[in-house]
Amino acid sequence: MHQGDRSGEPSAQRLMAWPYLAAAAMLLVATALLTLLSVFWRGVASADEPTLAASLAAIAENRGPYLAAGATRLAAGTTLLLGALCLGRTGAAPGWVVPLLVLSGLLTLLSGAFAVVLGLAFAGLDPAGGDALAPWAAPVEGVRWFTGSGGFAAAGLALIAIAAVQKRWPAVPLLLAVATAGIGVSMQLIWIEAATAVHRVSGIAFLLWLTLAGVGLLGGRGPWWGAGARGD
């Protein structure tokens, strides 16, 4: 095979992968925006109370914002899942990145769905009526919390996997790999309720990372590549 043929192969592969790269980019950015909306509406609903009874009362009192939070979280999980699948079609994602992002999207989607179920269950009830739903609402809320935390942690593991690749690319600054790994590790603290401040910082950092990754993909670069480095 002539050198010209070999040099043309990567360009042809990039051309064929471009629709999936563009779709993955837009879906990752959409995930970040939808997650921001979900966090906003959940804050308006004031559903993160220290006790289940207080949380159920807040959900009953603020059904609209809580439903909006659940619906946007469900949508964010869906866009992350689809974005990961599109990224997988490009063949550019290394190792466990795509499976972990798919898992994260699926768990996030389920978390939003359970939140929507809780919000709909309180339709037509006054805040005091939440006590009647407590026997089954408690396990539903527990599953919602577990799937939401699991989705966040899985995304963090994906970042750690990406960081492992970043450090092997000469064109990727070591600081970028360290920052990616640091965000991913801090996201694992989601299981520790006392680390609320860390959750907020790592959440903001992850959303920023998603946005920058989407922009990078639109430029034909993956989030594990540095300036001037490409996947071919």
Q: What is the pLDDT of residues 174-203, one digit of tens each?
A: 888 899 999 999 999 999 987 888 888 999
What's the pLDDT band for 121 if we cut at 50, 70, 90?
Answer: confident
Helix 196-218 to helix 3-45 angle (10° resolution) is 140
Q: What six digits make up the tokens of 78?
A: 């869906």
> Do residues 191 and 154 make contact, with C-beta atoms less than 8 angstroms apart?
no
Which of residues 107 and 134 earns the better pLDDT score? 107
Fill in the amino acid letter for 132.
Answer: A
Which residues lie closer than 8 Å to 208 by C-beta, 6 or more apart?
A: 32
- What is d(CA 36, CA 19) in angstroms, rounded to the nearest whole number? 26
> Do residues 92 and 222 make contact, with C-beta atoms less than 8 angstroms apart?
yes
Q: What six digits make up the tokens of 39?
A: 């966090």
- What is d(CA 224, CA 159) in angstroms, rounded to the nearest whole number? 9
Closest CA to 32 of 157, 217, 211, 212: 211
pLDDT at 232 over 70: no
Give me the residue label for tokens 């993160």.
48
The pLDDT of residue 81: 97
The pLDDT of residue 1: 41
The pLDDT of residue 5: 42
> Do residues 171 and 226 make contact, with C-beta atoms less than 8 angstroms apart?
yes
Closest CA to 47 of 141, 170, 150: 141
Radius of gyration of the chain from Cα atoms? 20
- What is d(CA 53, CA 133) in angstroms, rounded to the nearest whole number? 10
Give me the residue label for tokens 């006054």.
126
Helix 196-218 to helix 174-187 angle (10° resolution) is 130
- What is d(CA 232, CA 227) in angstroms, rounded to the nearest whole number? 14
Question: What would the 3-class secondary structure string for 123-145 be?
Answer: CCCCHHHHHHHHHHHHHHHHHHH
pLDDT at 142 over 70: yes
The pLDDT of residue 16: 67
> Do residues 18 and 218 make contact, with C-beta atoms less than 8 angstroms apart?
no
- What is d(CA 19, CA 21) in angstroms, rounded to the nearest whole number? 5
Mean of all residue pLDDT scores within the chain = 82
Most confident of 60-69, 133-142, 163-172: 60-69
The pLDDT of residue 214: 86
Most confident of 11-25, 143-157, 161-175: 143-157
pLDDT at 66 over 80: yes
The pLDDT of residue 134: 60
Which of residues 164 and 136 earns the better pLDDT score? 164
Fill in the amino acid letter for 182.
Answer: G
pLDDT at 228 over 50: no
pTM for this structure?
A: 0.84
